[in-house]
């Protein structure tokens, strides 16, 4: 009898276990198990979840047959991960410095991750008292430490020491398929005919049901649909059951996250010349079955979405599927509506706002091929679509595409990987592409397609930059300049709408002079220094430079130098004091916490039931309201003060995005940007809608500062409960890196992180700037392997390549 072996990644995230283990496949599972399936396997003294990554008839050379354990049971009947996704997990584990199991679990929907249930079982005689009180006279009970008193836990621990009880761990499948009651109609026409002739004249409802059944022999109808259709009560159904006109069955029910959303069908528009050109170039690559990334650089409102949709249509017509990524889809219900309006029920939606159940159902619809267009946020990039013909990454510059904790994958990079795998076009779209992306297009790695005009003839709005230092010169503390007040009043008078944005990014983390706009910067890195209230100091988080907080401004001598900050609620109050008649919708984290509330507010605003939409950055993206003729940015500066070399880029992007909300239809739009640094190039170039100009200027800044895209950046972070240990260990790392890298990289730090202490751990970081990716990757892998050995002593180390946040 030949043996079969399975290579399995076990659910034990650690460096030592970060490779496949070989298990014996028991006889009865030989025809069942395949790569991509989940199983339960013994590991050490417990049972854990495992994912099969390979099946073989031969025992790998380095494994001894005698120690081999067997797979306990299968958790799936068919693979939940296909070959592509298994390959992808290996690639990502390698490039993001994450454990393979963490990647695999990220790819799978939550519902397919296992829960572990613990039980304790009596295996020896114990006191009757214990048996009754703790075990409720049972042999085995679930073990959940919270439900026992301290005394009881002491008793249990003693029983455990004396081997009187055993622990048993069960791997529990979380995947729950929702079912609903349904009725299957009889196919026995004769029985039904007879019933009909026997029915009493006044049994109208029964007659009605019976005729319906006779017209739909053998069909299955859900109880809900049947009752809606025929307006019949439970008693009628019960009688029908007794007479065997139908039988009760359970049917699988897919939870539809968009049930509450009304969707109108939307027709394709006639493309303008630039759109048509982009459309043809992308379709051509698709027809040739070639991998080709495109950068679709189009100003806001230039009709990028229309291009995506029409290329998608072409791809679907050729029986391929489409993956459409958008940033934080919950934030753009308008976009969902547009896609669903075009493609209807073949659209699946994946985003973090779904319940695990809804997500699992959408996932299954995709996996079975019922959904052929997937719209989703970051993790939707792992959608189990097969036969992909097109991948779209809308607003490709958005930082939400990068996962900020383990595994630190970037959805755009994953999209490109999948594009290459399937040999298809990938569209990266943006009005303000990430510098890295734009630089690649410059070098011809991506093909650049530009849309320079607003579609449908609308004009870009006129942008006015207001110097808030002048507004505050009078000493009045206000969030509204005279110009903005005036324009707001006009809008209210003309019954037009306004969008107001309060930028919360980088809030109150830095110091600024209210009289001259001066922000203290560190002399080495030229970055805004971060305020530390604990030590009452300013620190540079790249190089560690530290100064005390100034009491007077070194530039103008003013005493009004302080941290900057205000909240949306405060602004709303001031707004209502200024314009008591205005109808205001406030949209921020507080008011949008409830599911669907954001969509409701946006719809309300769309119906013009409010005059002003006041919100945080969340309102900057993707909104398309024709009546909005004024956009106000209350504070353009806050992001400039972030201790991050992306600060100018993020500010430029945000201002461009939010300005794009004005004047999208016939009415000309206006934008008012309030700033303490009105001359800053990010603000001035955004005012002129000049992305190419910004690109050039910022590339020069990056070149001088040796930042990306000229250099690769990696952040190495260490944390420890003991502040000294964290610092000492990371200093050793820095010395080791210096020894191996010598002149080939810039090593900054170690320094405490901007948020230096969290949950009783101290955080330090090193920043690496380098050119030789292979060399540094190798070193970082060695570092990661070695770090695992130190972990036992309490040090945690993590590696983040191309970090998007330095906080």
Q: Residues marked as binding for Zn(2+)?
A: 513, 516, 525, 540, 543, 553, 556
Residue 450 or 545: the one with the smaller Cβ distance to Zn ion is: 545
Measured from the CB of residue 643, what is the shortest distance to Zn ion in angstroms?
A: 9
Q: Rounded to whole angstroms, how far apart are CA atoms 684 and 678?
A: 7
Distance between alpha carbon 267 and the CA centroid of its chain, in Å? 29
**Which three-class secondary structure string do you get for 359-428?**
HHHHHHHHHCCCCCEEEECHHHHHCCCCCEEEEEEECCCCHHHECCCCCCCEHHHHHHHHHHHHCCEEEE
Measured from the CB of residue 668, what is the shortest distance to ligand ADP in angstroms?
A: 15
Measured from the CB of residue 634, what is the shortest distance to ligand ADP in angstroms?
A: 23
Angle at alpha carbon of residue 786, lines to 783 and 787, rounded to 5°: 80
Cross-strand partners of 552: none
Instruction: Tell me the CA distances in angstroms from 92 to 107, 147, 310, 406, 452, one per residue in order.
Output: 11, 40, 31, 11, 36
**Region near ligand ADP per CB under 6 A, out of 6-14, 295-303, 686-694, 722-730:** 295-303
**Region near ligand ADP per CB under 6 A, out of 7-15, 303-311, 540-548, 588-596:** 303-311
Measured from the CB of residue 526, what is the shortest distance to Zn ion in angstroms?
A: 8
Q: Rounded to whole angstroms, how far apart are CA atoms 450 and 323?
A: 22
Residue whose entry in the numeric block shows the structure tokens 């495992």: 50
Binder among 50, 298, 506, 754 for ligand ADP (CB under 6 A): 298
Measured from the CB of residue 326, what is the shortest distance to ligand ADP in angstroms?
A: 11
Q: Which residues contact 260 (CB under 8 A, 6 or more apart)?
A: 596
Q: Rounded to whole angstroms, how far apart are CA atoms 41 and 37?
A: 12
Measured from the CB of residue 524, what is the shortest distance to Zn ion in angstroms?
A: 4
Residues in contact with ligand ADP, shown as a per-residue x/- string from 443 to 482 under the rule CB under 6 A:
------------xx--------------------------
Residue 304 or 364: the one with the smaller Cβ distance to ligand ADP is: 304
**Region near ligand ADP per CB under 6 A, out of 34-42, 293-301, 405-413, 470-478:** 293-301
Q: How many residues bind to ligand ADP according to rule CB under 6 A?
A: 17
Is the sign of the CA dihedral 147, 148, 150, 153 positive or negative?
Answer: negative
Is the sign of the CA dihedral 348, 353, 357, 360 positive or negative?
Answer: positive
Q: Which long-range contacts (CB under 8 A, 24 or more apart) does 484-492 make?
A: 484/632, 484/672, 484/674, 485/578, 487/630, 487/632, 487/670, 487/672, 488/578, 488/579, 488/582, 488/612, 488/630, 488/632, 489/579, 491/611, 491/629, 491/630, 492/579, 492/581, 492/582, 492/611
Measured from the CB of residue 631, what is the shortest distance to ligand ADP in angstroms?
A: 14
Among ligand ADP, Zn ion, none, partner that 524 touches (CB below 5 to 8 angstroms by kind): Zn ion
Among ligand ADP, Zn ion, none, partner that 491 touches (CB below 5 to 8 angstroms by kind): none
Query: What's the residue count for the chain?
Result: 807
Q: Rounded to whole angstroms, how far apart are CA atoms 174 and 194?
A: 47
Binder among 7, 18, 89, 302 for ligand ADP (CB under 6 A): 302
Task: Indicate the helix (H) or strand (E) that contains 612.
Answer: strand 612-615
Q: Rounded to whole angstroms, how far apart are CA atoms 600 and 365?
A: 27
Site for ligand ADP in 241-270 (CB under 6 A): 269-270
Residue 167 or 704: the one with the smaller Cβ distance to Zn ion is: 704
Report residue 102 as tokens. Answer: 């963490």
Residue 50 or 641: the one with the smaller Cβ distance to Zn ion is: 641
Measured from the CB of residue 632, what is the shortest distance to ligand ADP in angstroms?
A: 20
Burial class (CB in 10 A: 0-12, 13-18, 19+), 303: buried
Measured from the CB of residue 607, what is the shortest distance to ligand ADP in angstroms?
A: 17
Regarding 624 and contact with ligand ADP (CB under 6 A), the answer is: yes
Quick count: other Cβ atoms within 10 Å of Cβ 66? 5
Regarding 20 and contact with ligand ADP (CB under 6 A), the answer is: no
Among ligand ADP, Zn ion, none, partner that 545 touches (CB below 5 to 8 angstroms by kind): Zn ion
Q: Edge-to-edge strands of the sheet including 165-173?
A: 140-142, 114-122, 165-173
Regarding 303 and contact with ligand ADP (CB under 6 A), the answer is: yes
Among Zn ion, ligand ADP, none, partner that 419 touches (CB below 5 to 8 angstroms by kind): none
Regarding 271 and contact with ligand ADP (CB under 6 A), the answer is: yes
Among Zn ion, ligand ADP, none, partner that 456 touches (CB below 5 to 8 angstroms by kind): ligand ADP
Measured from the CB of residue 672, what is the shortest distance to ligand ADP in angstroms?
A: 21
Q: Which residues contact 50 (CB under 8 A, 6 or more apart)?
A: 8, 9, 10, 11, 21, 23, 38, 39, 40, 41, 43, 71
Regarding 301 and contact with ligand ADP (CB under 6 A), the answer is: yes
- Are 348 and 366 within 8 A, CB to CB? yes
Residue 305 or 530: the one with the smaller Cβ distance to Zn ion is: 530
- Are 642 and 602 within 8 A, CB to CB? no
Among ligand ADP, Zn ion, none, partner that 269 touches (CB below 5 to 8 angstroms by kind): ligand ADP
Regarding 304 and contact with ligand ADP (CB under 6 A), the answer is: yes
Task: Indicate the helix (H) or strand (E) that contains 572.
Answer: helix 568-578
Annotated binding site: 513, 516, 525, 540, 543, 553, 556
Residue 345 or 545: the one with the smaller Cβ distance to Zn ion is: 545
Q: Edge-to-edge strands of the sheet including 425-430?
A: 347-350, 373-376, 321-325, 388-394, 425-430, 292-298, 447-451
Residue 312 or 540: the one with the smaller Cβ distance to Zn ion is: 540
Q: Rounded to whole angstroms, how far apart are CA atoms 652 and 656?
A: 6
Residue 272 or 591: the one with the smaller Cβ distance to ligand ADP is: 272
Binder among 96, 305, 321, 715 for ligand ADP (CB under 6 A): 305
Measured from the CB of residue 498, what is the shortest distance to Zn ion in angstroms?
A: 40
Q: Rounded to whole angstroms, how far apart are CA atoms 9 and 98?
A: 13
Among Zn ion, ligand ADP, none, partner that 674 touches (CB below 5 to 8 angstroms by kind): none
Among ligand ADP, Zn ion, none, partner that 704 touches (CB below 5 to 8 angstroms by kind): none
- Are 426 and 246 within 8 A, CB to CB? no
Residue 561: closest CA among 571, 569, 552: 552
Regarding 327 and contact with ligand ADP (CB under 6 A), the answer is: no
Report residue 785 as tokens. Answer: 């392997």
Among Zn ion, ligand ADP, none, partner that 566 touches (CB below 5 to 8 angstroms by kind): none
Regarding 669 and contact with ligand ADP (CB under 6 A), the answer is: no
- Are 109 and 356 within 8 A, CB to CB? yes
Task: Indicate the helix (H) or strand (E) that contains 274.
Answer: helix 273-287
Residue 153 or 268: the one with the smaller Cβ distance to ligand ADP is: 268
Residue 303 or 407: the one with the smaller Cβ distance to ligand ADP is: 303
Regarding 407 and contact with ligand ADP (CB under 6 A), the answer is: no
Regarding 297 and contact with ligand ADP (CB under 6 A), the answer is: no
Q: Rounded to whole angstroms, how far apart are CA atoms 760 and 82?
A: 41
Task: Indicate the helix (H) or strand (E) that contains 39.
Answer: strand 38-43
Regarding 627 and contact with ligand ADP (CB under 6 A), the answer is: no
Residue 3 or 708: the one with the smaller Cβ distance to Zn ion is: 708
Burial class (CB in 10 A: 0-12, 13-18, 19+), 219: middle
Regarding 275 and contact with ligand ADP (CB under 6 A), the answer is: yes
Name the site residues for Zn ion (rule: CB under 5 A).
522, 524-525, 540, 542-543, 545
Measured from the CB of residue 659, what is the shortest distance to ligand ADP in angstroms?
A: 12
Measured from the CB of residue 497, what is the shortest distance to ligand ADP in angstroms?
A: 15
Residue 182 or 525: the one with the smaller Cβ distance to Zn ion is: 525
Among Zn ion, ligand ADP, none, partner that 302 touches (CB below 5 to 8 angstroms by kind): ligand ADP
The site for ligand ADP (CB under 6 A) is made up of: 269-272, 275, 298, 300-306, 455-456, 624, 664
């Amino acid at each position: 009898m030949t043996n079969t072996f399975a290579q399995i990644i076990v659910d034990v995230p650690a460096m030592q276990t970060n490779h496949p283990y070989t298990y014996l496949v028991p006889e009865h599972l030989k025809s069942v198990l395949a790569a991509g399936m989940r199983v339960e396997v013994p590991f050490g003294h417990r049972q854990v979840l495992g994912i099969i990554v390979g099946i073989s008839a031969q025992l790998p050379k380095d494994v001894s047959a005698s120690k081999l354990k067997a797979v306990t049971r299968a958790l799936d009947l068919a693979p939940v991960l296909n070959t592509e996704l298994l390959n992808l997990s290996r690639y990502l584990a390698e490039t993001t410095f994450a454990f393979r199991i963490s990647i695999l679990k990220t790819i799978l929907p939550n519902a397919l991750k296992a829960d572990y249930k613990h039980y304790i079982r009596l295996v020896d005689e114990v006191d009757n008292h214990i048996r009754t009180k703790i075990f409720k006279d049972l042999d085995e009970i679930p073990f959940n430490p919270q439900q026992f008193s301290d005394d009881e836990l002491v008793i249990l621990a003693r029983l455990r020491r004396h081997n009187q009880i055993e622990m048993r761990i069960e791997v529990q499948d979380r995947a729950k398929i929702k079912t609903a009651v349904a009725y299957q109609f009889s196919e026995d026409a004769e029985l039904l005919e007879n019933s009909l002739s026997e029915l009493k004249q006044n049994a109208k409802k029964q007659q009605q049901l019976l005729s319906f059944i006779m017209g739909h022999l053998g069909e299955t109808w859900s109880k809900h649909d049947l009752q809606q259709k025929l307006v019949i009560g439970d008693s009628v159904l019960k009688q029908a059951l007794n007479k065997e006109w139908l039988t009760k069955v359970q049917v699988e029910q897919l939870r539809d996250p968009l049930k509450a959303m009304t969707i109108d069908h939307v027709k394709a528009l006639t493309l303008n010349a630039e759109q048509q050109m982009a459309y043809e170039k992308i379709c051509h690559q698709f027809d040739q079955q070639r991998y080709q990334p495109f950068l679709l650089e189009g100003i806001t409102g230039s009709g990028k979405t229309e291009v995506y949709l029409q290329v998608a249509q072409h791809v679907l017509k050729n029986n391929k599927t489409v993956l459409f990524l958008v940033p934080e889809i919950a934030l753009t219900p308008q976009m969902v509506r547009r896609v669903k309006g075009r493609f209807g029920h073949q659209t699946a939606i994946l985003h973090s706002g779904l319940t695990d159940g809804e997500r699992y159902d959408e996932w299954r619809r995709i996996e079975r091929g019922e959904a052929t267009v997937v719209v989703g946020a970051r993790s939707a990039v792992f959608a189990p679509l097969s036969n992909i013909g097109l991948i779209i990454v809308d607003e490709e510059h958005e930082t939400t595409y990068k996962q900020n904790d383990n595994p630190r994958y970037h959805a755009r990079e994953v999209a490109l990987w999948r594009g290459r795998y399937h040999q298809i076009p990938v569209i990266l779209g943006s009005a303000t592409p990430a510098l890295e992306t734009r630089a690649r297009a410059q070098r011809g790695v991506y093909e650049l397609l530009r849309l320079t005009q607003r579609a449908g003839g609308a004009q870009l709005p006129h942008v006015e930059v207001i110097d808030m230092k002048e507004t505050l010169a009078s000493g009045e503390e206000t969030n509204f300049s005279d110009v903005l007040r005036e324009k707001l009043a006009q809008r209210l008078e003309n019954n037009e709408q306004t969008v107001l944005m309060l930028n919360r990014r980088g809030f109150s983390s830095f110091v600024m002079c209210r009289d001259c706009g001066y922000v203290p910067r560190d002399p080495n890195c030229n970055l805004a220094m971060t305020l530390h209230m604990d030590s009452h100091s300013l620190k540079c988080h790249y190089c560690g430079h530290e100064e005390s907080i100034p009491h007077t401004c070194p530039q103008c001598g003013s005493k009004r130098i302080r941290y900057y900050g205000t909240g949306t609620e405060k602004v709303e109050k001031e707004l209502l004091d200024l314009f008591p008649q205005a109808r205001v919708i406030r949209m921020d984290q507080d008011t949008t916490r409830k599911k669907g509330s954001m969509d409701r507010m946006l719809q309300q605003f769309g119906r013009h039931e409010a005059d002003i939409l006041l919100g945080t950055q969340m309102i900057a993206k993707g909104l398309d309201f024709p009546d909005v003729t004024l956009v106000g940015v209350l504070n353009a500066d806050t992001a400039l003060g972030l201790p991050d070399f992306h600060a100018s880029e993020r500010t430029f992007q945000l201002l461009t995005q939010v300005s794009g909300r004005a004047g999208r239809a016939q009415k000309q739009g206006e934008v008012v940007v309030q700033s303490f640094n009105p001359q800053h190039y990010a603000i001035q170039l955004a005012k002129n809608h000049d992305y190419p100009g910004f690109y050039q200027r910022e590339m020069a800044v990056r070149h001088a500062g040796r930042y990306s895209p000229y250099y690769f950046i990696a952040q190495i972070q260490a944390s420890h409960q003991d502040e000294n240990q964290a610092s000492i260990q990371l200093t050793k790392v820095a010395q080791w890196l210096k020894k191996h890298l010598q002149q080939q990289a810039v090593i900054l730090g170690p320094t405490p992180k901007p948020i230096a202490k969290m949950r009783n751990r101290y955080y330090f970081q090193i920043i690496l700037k380098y050119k030789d990716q292979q060399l540094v990757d190798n070193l970082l892998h060695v570092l990661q392997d070695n770090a695992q050995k130190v972990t036992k002593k309490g040090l945690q180390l993590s590696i983040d390549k191309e970090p998007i946040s330095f906080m």
